[in-house]
């Protein structure tokens, strides 16, 4: 089993309204030291495969399901392997 | 500036309906090797402080705003410091 974490974020060119709203709320709480907030989603997948075989699964699942490539991009990292 | 990533997930005891639905859809795509899916959110905060001073900000922002402690829990990691 291999555990991977897929991170989905807005592309840098896309405005993140939720992040902007959260930043303003954080400032209202008195934490002006927070200069920027970006919001994203992640998906933890437990995959019944060795670590060298998960890249294809991650690519297909991201491209066919999890990521809206018009606005979003993704990265992933292996969290556990055994 | 220090960049931190705050990860918010359901507590292990809380059912994740979105993750369950995504898992079924992944199986429908033919990827039966995906045994489990858990969904979470993350927040990238750019904080105008040294790395040894961000813990208090992260704790307060998480507790007062980002995390619903009835159902969720959080962790964070430092992504960049300079």
What domains are there in chain B, each with its CATH number?
A: 2-81 (3.30.1280.10)
Chain A contact for B1, CB < 8 A?
A: yes
Task: Give the pLDDT band (50/70/90) at residue B60.
Answer: very high
Query: Residue A81 and residue A3: Cα distance in Å, rounded?
Result: 6
Segment A37-43 mean pLDDT: 97
Task: List chain B residues with CB under 8 Å of A41.
Answer: 39-42
Closest residue of chain A to B57, computed from CA coordinates: A31
Percent of chain A with pLDDT over 70: 100
ipTM: 0.90
Strands (E), chain B: 2-10, 34-47, 72-81
Segment B23-40 mean pLDDT: 97
3-state secondary structure of B79: strand
Q: Which of 24-43 (B) contact A at CB < 8 A? A: 25-26, 29, 31, 33-43
């Amino acid at each position: 089993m291999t555990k991977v974490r897929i991170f989905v974020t807005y592309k840098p060119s896309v405005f993140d309204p939720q992040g902007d709203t959260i930043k303003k709320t954080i400032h209202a709480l008195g934490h002006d030291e927070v200069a920027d907030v970006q919001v994203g989603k992640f998906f933890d997948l437990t995959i019944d495969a060795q670590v060298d075989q998960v890249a294809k699964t991650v690519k297909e699942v991201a491209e066919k399901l999890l990521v809206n490539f018009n606005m979003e991009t993704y990265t992933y990292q292996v969290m556990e392997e055994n």
